Structure 1
Amino acid sequence: MSAFSSHSHSHSDRRISTVFWVLLAIFAATGVMLWGGWGNARLGVFLFVCAGWLISLCLHEFAHARAALHGGDISVGAKGYLTLNPLKYTHPIYSFVLPLVFIILGGIALPGGAVFIERGRIRSKAKNALISAAGPATNAALALVLMVVLATVAPSFDGTYRTSHLEFYSALGYLALLQVMATILNLVPMPGLDGYGIIEPWISYETRRSLANIAPYGMMIVVLLLWNRTINNWFFGNLVFPILGWFHADVYAAYGNQLFHFFSFGFSGFGN
Structure 2
Amino acid sequence: MIELNTIQLLVILAPPLLLAITLHEVAHGWVALRCGDTTAQSQGRLSLNPLRHIDPIGTVLVPAVMAVIGGFIFGWAKPVPVSYNRLRQPKRDMALVALAGPASNLLMALGWALAAVIGHGLQTALPWLGQPLMAMGVAGVNVNAMLGVLNLVPIPPLDGSRVLAGMLPDRVGQTMAQIEPYGLIILVLLLSSGVLNLMPVVSSVSHLILSLFF
Shorter-chain TM band? 0.7 to 0.9
In structure 2, C-alpha distance between the alignment counterparts of 1:113 and 1:197, rounded to whole Å: 17
2:26 is aligned with 1:66: no
In structure 2, the CA distance between the partners of 1:178 and 1:224, relative to structure 1 (3 Å rule), is farther
In structure 2, C-alpha distance between the alignment counterparts of 1:111 and 1:245, rounded to whole Å: 24
CA deviations over 1:103-139 (Å, ceiling 9, x no partner) = 2112424435611111101111332211111111111
Q: 37, 48, 56: which one pairs with 1:84?
A: 48
Q: Secondary structure at the match of 2:46?
A: helix
Q: Secondary structure at the match of 2:110?
A: helix
Corresponding residue for residue 58 of structure 2: 98
Corresponding residue for residue 36 of structure 1: none
Contact 2:115 2:134 in 1 (8 A): no
2:102 is aligned with 1:141: no
CA deviations over 1:171-215 (Å, ceiling 9, x no partner) = 321222111010001011111011111122344444433322321
In structure 2, C-alpha distance between the alignment counterparts of 1:211 and 1:245, rounded to whole Å: 33
* Unpaired segments ≥5 residues, structure 1: 1-39, 158-162, 250-272
TM-score (norm 2): 0.77
TM-score (norm 1): 0.62
Corresponding residue for residue 132 of structure 1: 98
In structure 2, the CA distance between the partners of 1:247 and 1:55, relative to structure 1 (3 Å rule), is closer
In structure 2, C-alpha distance between the alignment counterparts of 1:142 and 1:195, rounded to whole Å: 19
Contact 2:119 2:133 in 1 (8 A): no
Q: 157, 171, 189: which one pairs with 2:136?
A: 171
Percent of aligned pairs with the same amino acid: 26
Aligned length: 197
* Unpaired segments ≥5 residues, structure 2: 68-72
Contact 1:110 1:185 in 2 (8 A): no
Letter in 2 for 1:67: V
2:160 is aligned with 1:198: no
Q: Secondary structure at the match of 2:37?
A: coil
Contact 2:16 2:143 in 1 (8 A): no
Specify the structure having the higher radius of gyration (Cα). Answer: 1
In structure 2, C-alpha distance between the alignment counterparts of 1:121 and 1:52, rounded to whole Å: 32
